[in-house]
């Protein structure tokens, strides 16, 4: 959920960059989509803090 909560619009820009890069070389576009997927897998610090407070 990191992309949805950053507020910077980084994910839509990376998706658009991936689409444009695919026209140049498919592997570059695939790399952009992989970066977005990794961003979704990284835990968000705000959620980590909330869970830590619940466990106290």
Taking a C-beta distance cutoff of 8 angstroms, is the pair 13, 3 a contact? no
The model's pLDDT over 5-29, given as tens digits with 9 standing for 90+, comes to: 454 556 788 888 899 999 999 999 9
Q: In this predicted structure, what is the pLDDT of residue 38?
A: 83
Burial of 17 (0-12, 13-18, 19+ CB in 10 A): middle
Q: In this predicted structure, what is the pLDDT of residue 1?
A: 44
Q: What's the predicted TM-score (pTM) here?
A: 0.60
Look up the domain containing 38 and give its range. 2-55
Between 32 and 41, residue with greater pLDDT: 32
Burial of 35 (0-12, 13-18, 19+ CB in 10 A): middle
Number of domains in the chain: 1
Count of beta carbons in the 10 Å neighbourhood of residue 9 = 9
For 14-43, give the DSSP string: HHHHHHHHHHH-HHHHHHHHHHHHHHHHSP
Q: In this predicted structure, what is the pLDDT of residue 10?
A: 67
Q: In this predicted structure, what is the pLDDT of residue 4?
A: 54
């Amino acid at each position: 959920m990191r992309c949805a909560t950053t507020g910077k619009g980084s994910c839509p820009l990376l998706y658009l960059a991936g689409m444009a890069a695919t026209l140049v070389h498919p592997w570059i576009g695939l790399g952009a989509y992989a970066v977005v997927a990794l961003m979704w897998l990284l835990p968000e610090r705000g959620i980590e803090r909330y869970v830590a407070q619940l466990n106290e």
